[in-house]
Each structure stands twice: as structure tokens, then as C-alpha cells.
Amino acid sequence: MRIIALVPGGIGDQILFFPTLDDLKQSYSDAQIDVVVEPRARDAYRVSKSVNETIPFDFKGRNSLADFGNLLGIIRDREYDIALTLGQRWSVRFLLWLTGIPTRIGYAGGSGQSLLTNPVPLNQNQYAAAMYHDLLKGLDINTPCPPLAVSVPAKDLDWAESERKRLGNQDYVLIHGGSSQLAKDKGINKIYPVESWSGIIQDFNRRQPDLPIVVVQGPEDAEFVQALVEANPKLKVTMPKDVGKLTAMIAGANLMLCTDSAPMHLAVAVQTYTLALFGPTDPQKLLPQDDRFVGIKSLTGQMADISPQTVLEKVWAG
């Protein structure tokens, strides 16, 4: 049995799709499961326990006929039995039809539905992981969506242990306040001001002076982190080089403070208490119903309008 899933989107979308992949593996234990993923999100599968191989393809790019032809050739050569697709674009559905894969599952509606063999109703009024998991109904798998889960490589756990020793304490609060360049380019408001983060950090320092505050610096966060450290000299910085190491650092934290982002989903997967800030997006669709994960939604849709006091009230109430 060979199964392929086409999963456009960033790292967060991939993490939210993990329960679907895990239940596929549970139902077809001997199956090889491969995923077609955008290059920017490929690193997510470093912490997947169910995927054999990733195939890079830029769904959002300006793909030529040659690009689609190359992907078609790769998929046809591997003779998959089942295909699942999250996207509703006609071009992707047509590509799957051309592959000749006998079972093709996607959401009902949109152009090209007739190119699917097993369309599934799309219910967007639920947690995104559960919405993705609904695709399994196309295989008569009707189990509830399991919690997000990841498998962190041992070498990444070892790195995180060494990093915690370098930082000088096993207990810490972790901040991830960066926003991807893609979100910035699209004008999506996922940035919380340095001044507001500083207000939160200073309150922690007053109340719990011995509890380190650690900020994550990713590839696109250097300017944000530099400004935050200049305003808060006691702040410590960690720079995980991949998703596995980042996940291990999140797992070791007493509390995660973050914006709506891929690290938020990683925090959910490792069950770290999390306070996440939301601008235009809906926490009910991006966080499970669990007291360990609290979404703070801006009343204006602008993340910057969430006051530090609002965040701190949630922190100390917990």
C-alpha cells in the first residue's frame, strides 16, 4: 500500500495535518506514506512519526507545465493507491486524475470535484486539525481526531538539554514573538510590538526574578530579538536551527508565550502551557479546546491592540 498526501501551506499547516497522517498509519500500518509539501515547510516532517518521504513542490509559486509534468512523473512512477489533497484548486485535482491513482480524496465543492473519487464535505467551523482529519471519511475512517503529536529526534533532545544548561536553569518561560516574512508580505497582522513584549517581560522580572525569560530567534527574527534584548538586558536568547530543536526547547518550557504561528502548534503537540496572541485569525479554529492552551483575541483584529495587562491577567490567573 502506498499513500500520498498533497499538503500546501506552511509548517503550521503541516503540524495540523499530523493527526490525519497518524490515523492513516494506524489504519494502514504497512503503508508507505509520502507527502508533497512546499519547500518552506519541509522541515516540519523532521518531527513526524508517520511519513516516509517528502516531495517538494511550490504550490503557491508560478508553476510551469514542466513543473506540473515533473510532479506528475514522480507520482505516477511510484504507483500510489490512495491520494489525499487539502487544496481545492482545479489544477491539482486534474493532476491527481492524470496520475491514475484509483482512490482520490479531497473536499467537496469547487471546480473539478468530479475528478475526485471520494469527495468529503468541508466543515470549516471547527478546529483546523479536525477539519483536515475529516478527509479520512473518504476511506470510511470515522474515528475522532486525535491530539497533535510529534516525534523529536534524540539528537535534538540532547541539543536542547545542553542549551538549557547553557542558559543556566532548567525552568524558563519561552517567548516566540516573530512573524514569518510571508505573513508580512501578505500584510497579515501577526506582529506584537517590542514595547508590549517588554511590558510583559518586566512584570515577570518583578514577580519572579529568578525565573529566566528566553526568546527564540529564528532566521527572520534577528531585528525583533535585537530590539527586545536592548530593552531587556536580562533576556536570554536561544537559536534552534531546525524544527526538531525548536520543539525540544518548547517542550522544556514552563510556559510558552507566542503569537499565532507554527511554534504555537508545536507547543500544543508537546503539551506545554501556552498563551497565544491572535489578531485577525480565530483561536477557536487554531487551538484545541483545552485549558492548557489559551488564545487571546484582539477585539480590533490588530494584534498590537492587545494590552500587556490583558496578557498578564491571563498569566497570573493561571
Cell digits for 37? 509539501
Round to whole Å and give the CA distance between 108 and 122: 6
Tell me the CA end-to-end span of the chain in Å, nearest whole number: 47
- pLDDT for 96 equals 94
- The mean of the pLDDT values for the chain is 93
When mean pLDDT is compared across 84-98, 179-193, 209-223, the lowest value belongs to 179-193
263 neighbors 286 (Cβ within 8 angstroms): no
pLDDT-derived band at 315 (thresholds 50, 70, 90) equals very high
- pLDDT for 187 equals 59
CA 214 to chain centre: 21
When mean pLDDT is compared across 173-187, 189-203, 223-237, 247-261, the lowest value belongs to 173-187
- Is the fold of 2-139 the same as that of 154-317? yes
What type of residue sits at position 173? V
45 neighbors 35 (Cβ within 8 angstroms): yes
CB atoms within 10 A of CB 43: 18
Cα 268 to Cα 13, 29, 98, 215, 264: the distances in Å are 13, 25, 38, 18, 6
* C-alpha gyration radius of the chain: 21
Cell digits for 283? 483561536
- pLDDT for 303 equals 93
Q: HSE (CB half, 13 Å, CA atoms) of 292?
A: 14
Extents of the domains making up the chain: 2-139, 154-317
pLDDT per residue over 213-228, tens digit each?
999 998 888 999 999 9
Round to whole Å and give the CA distance between 132 and 126: 10
Cell digits for 94? 486534474
78 neighbors 4 (Cβ within 8 angstroms): yes
220 neighbors 178 (Cβ within 8 angstroms): yes
CATH H-level superfamily of 154-317: Glycogen Phosphorylase B; (3.40.50.2000)
Rounded to the nearest 5 degrees, what angle is found at the Cα of 251, between the Cα atoms of 246 and 254? 120
Q: Of residues 180 and 287, which shows the higher confidence score? A: 287
pLDDT-derived band at 134 (thresholds 50, 70, 90) equals very high
pTM exceeds 0.95: no
Give every CB contact of residue 140 below 8 A, 6+ residues apart in sequence.
Answer: none
- pLDDT score of 30 more than 60: yes
Round to whole Å and give the CA distance between 252 and 308: 24
CATH H-level superfamily of 2-139: Glycogen Phosphorylase B; (3.40.50.2000)
SS3 for 113-138 is HHHCCEEECCCCCCCHHHHHHHHHHH
280 neighbors 188 (Cβ within 8 angstroms): yes
